[in-house]
Copies of this chain bind each other. A is one copy, B any other.
Amino acid sequence: MGKTRRRNRRTTEAQTISWLKRPFQQLKNPLPPVEWATSAQVEIIHNAAMDILENTGMAFMDSEALDHWEKAGAKVDHKAEHVWIDRGLLLELIDRAPSSFTWHARNSEHNLIIGENYINFAPNSGMPYVSDLERGRRTGSLADYEKFVKLAQTIPFFHFAGGPLLEPQDLPISIRHLYRTRLMLQTTNKAIRGIAHGRIIPEDHINMLKIVFGDPLPSAVTGAVLNVTSPLRLDDRMIGGMAGLAKHKQAIIMTPFIMAGATSPITMSSALAQQNAEALGAIALTQLFNPGTPVVYGGFAQNVDMRSGSPAFGGPEGAWGLIVGAQMARRYGLPFRGSGSLTNSPIPDAQAAYETQWTMWPAVMAHTNVMLHSVGWLEAGLVASFEKFIIDCENLGMFTHFLNGFEISEESVATDAIDEIGIGGHHFGSALTQNNYKTAFYDPVLTSRDGFEQWQAKGQQDSLARAHRLYKQILAAYQRPFLDTAVSEELDAYVERREKELQGVDLYL
């Protein structure tokens, strides 16, 4: 009874959270993309990437991939798993990938256009640790994973809710993909992503999706990030995942892991040339597996920090990387993937907030089509923080409002309203204000605009403490979307069967 009452109180509190009253919407950036490189400089990076693929080549550590390359006419050294790709062949393959596509959600009202000037926000991804104010920093669990999916389902600014948000370390690796896939399908009706390492994981993932979406599976009901192990190597796990996804035309987000000075040369333009070579080389392979497979060009180029050896997140180099990375994707007519909440800070302090903004602003202004990690990062991506998730959601809310724009018309400039109040008056009580005050402005949720005394009286909470309370209120407001019971039971049966079969199996083969 105490629990019910608490839940009811939280539900009522949640009704005051303006975020939850906003509609789900596809978001567009109406401004032209911010561009750093001139078109001649874009061609310099393009030509450098072509030179790299032709002369240095790239490793593809999978015999099926090597066979594809050989058949397509590339020069292949099977023993060294080394491929040299001519620019003519490469560009012909890149051309097969769609310039935009629809990512299908379980509820078609949540379908997403990936491309053009659309921007799609996805939550944090792949963190081994989790933290909140109450329980501190700890390894991720399935219970925590579920909470993050519920938050992303409930807060309308998210376009993706399912995905590899967190590593549930309380489950053996052999069954994590089964439990996560079932949980996301039963918990959210927004777009989802899986993990696709090796050939077994995507097969299970796709089999489970067929239970929900039908067989044959529509294209892009799921997808996954695949990484190039920079410099210039696409390993067997990644190619296995690619094969599994491409077979069913599921989305592939192809992201080299570039750290200038470590996994690439130290100059940012060289880092971007290498990123371009790696992304294009791998994307070309997706089109050999299955022409027309939807792909996203992934940008994740930053520098290594020369003092700590860590990747330097949320700095000027990362901002250049995002802006020029997006330019290169547009050069080839491919959608672009960037990031949002990147930070090195271990706690949600001022540093965490400014580093996040140093990723969000350039990513938004550069026309990032898929913004992964748009919330929740701490500690260079090792920790998913519930409070940071909420802090960053305020920014998703602000960007949503900002990009929706405001009317500038003969009517909206309202010179009559200015004349009505005249000199030295105030507009609090005017008809225009009274008729519009509820919806005129972005209504923040985490942000406090209390004066000092009021803030003191409310307990002097910083944004971290307020975020803690909010994430619990929003979790309490979660509503499970409808899923046919028979479908849900079929998922359960699949998981039960495979859990047994997969004991002791090396998933990455």
Footprint of B on A, CB under 8 Å?
31, 34-37, 41, 44-45, 48, 51-52, 55-59, 82, 137, 229, 231-233, 260-270, 272-274, 277, 303-308, 310, 312, 315-317, 319-320, 324, 344-358, 361, 365, 379-380, 382, 388, 391, 394-395, 398-399, 401-402, 405-410, 412-415, 417-419, 421-428, 430, 432-433, 436-438, 440-444, 446-452, 454-455, 462-464, 467
Contacts and interface: CB of A to CB of B under 8 A. Distances in A.
A81 to B, nearest CB: 9
Given A232-B423, A263-B427, A312-B441, 4 more contacts: A37-B408, A56-B419, A269-B413, A303-B441
A413 B45 contact: yes
Nearest to A308: B449
Given A349-B462, A391-B350, A423-B59, A269 B358 contact: no
Contact of A351 (B307, B351, B463): B463
Given A402-B319, A412-B270, A414-B270, A262 B427 contact: yes
A490 B305 CA distance: 50
A219 to B, nearest CB: 32
Contacts of A260: 440-441
A422 B432 CA distance: 66
A408 B45 contact: yes
A177 to B, nearest CB: 27
Nearest to A442: B316
23 contacts: A44-B413, A45-B413, A58-B423, A231-B422, A232-B423, A260-B441, A261-B433, A262-B426, A263-B427, A267-B406, A267-B432, A268-B406, A269-B408, A269-B414, A273-B413, A308-B450, A316-B442, A345-B447, A348-B350, A349-B462, A349-B464, A351-B391, A357-B358
Given A310-B451, A361-B361, A440-B303, A352 B350 contact: yes
Contacts of A277: 418
Contacts of A233: 423-424
Contacts of A409: 41, 44, 269
Q: Which residue, A353, A401, A442, has most C-beta atoms of chain B within 10 A?
A: A353
A491 to B, nearest CB: 37
A315 B440 contact: no
A236 B69 CA distance: 79
Contacts of A426: 231, 262-263
Q: Which residue, A55, A270, A357, has most C-beta atoms of chain B within 10 A?
A: A270
Given A315-B398, A427-B265, A405 B36 contact: yes
Closest 5 interchain pairs by CB? A357-B357, A353-B353, A316-B402, A48-B413, A351-B463
A427 to B, nearest CB: 6
Nearest to A59: B423
Contact of A432 (B266, B395, B417, B418): B266
